[in-house]
Amino acid sequence: MTSLLVAILTLMAIPLVSSSVSELPLCGGTIKSYVEAKLDYPDLAPALDTLSEFPTAVWWTDNNSTYRNETLATLATCNSSSIPIIVVYGLPHKDCGAGYSDKGFNKDTESYLAFIQDLVTLVGNRPVLYVMEPDAIGIAATDSCGKTNQYVENMQQAVPLLTANVDARLYFDVGYWTLKDDSSTKSVADVIASVGSKSRKGAVKGIVLNTSNFRKTPEMIDKCKAFLTAAKKDTYRCVIDTSRNYRTPNTTSEWCNNKYAAIGVPPTSNTGMPDVLDYFLW
């Protein structure tokens, strides 16, 4: 526990260069897994309490039976002068290549759009940061199953609902693996242009890299720059999930919840690279 606390406190002390972008403070709700972990591992409670001080995204996902209550709690915690972070993860037939995450109740476009509208109604017109459908853009750009399951068409209908709120900021998740070369990066940029064209003007702010993954920040910055070049859109920026990317795992076979992962830079808009990065997020 001591080593974990030292790691967390060290991260809290990292100096971050202030961004030129004026932002409201990020906000997150109570993380269910932290609450459960404190019950299972009471000796880690102080470390988990420290982690809880940092804003962490809530997932609006049909894979989780308590998603609505968790999101309501987050919105109740975050006042209108802050930005809650909400990951939208509800596409019908999501994760169609591997199938590990396709456990939700959205089975068609109608149910998906009702799921999206429910979120839009709860959020209202307050500031919000949406992370759109982890992996979906990459799968749509590189895997035939994304086309078969109409990922692009479904997101094209969801995006205008999410961005009708003038204070909504939307970023498309692209994983990181989809930007492996110039050709795939261009394909991703083309899909984002297609889906993003349905949004309120200016609402799409760019992409998210490394969601729920472990790749280190310098690698993700290089991927971001490659995407920005391919997208040819001056207003786009990137967001990097730093929640467990302090060090690269020492094995590639243990890709899910790798035990060698470590906590990265805390969530902030002060990235030190305002022309490239809008946020580090958890």
60 is in an annotated binding site: no
Q: Any idea what the Cα angle at residue 279 is, between residues 273 and 282, rounded to 5°?
A: 140
59 is in an annotated binding site: yes
**174 and 213 in contact (C-beta within 8 Å)?**
no
* Whether 190 is catalytic: no
The C-alpha atoms of residue 94 and residue 104 are separated, in whole angstroms, by 9
3 state DSSP class of 142: helix
3 state DSSP class of 95: coil
Given the residues 62, 95, 135, 173, select the one marked as catalytic. 135
213 is in an annotated binding site: yes
Tokens of residue 176, six digits:
């990181």
The C-alpha atoms of residue 201 and residue 39 are separated, in whole angstroms, by 46
DSSP state of 19: P
Annotated binding-site residue numbers = 59, 213, 255
Catalytic residues: 135
Annotated binding-site residue numbers for substrate = 59, 213, 255
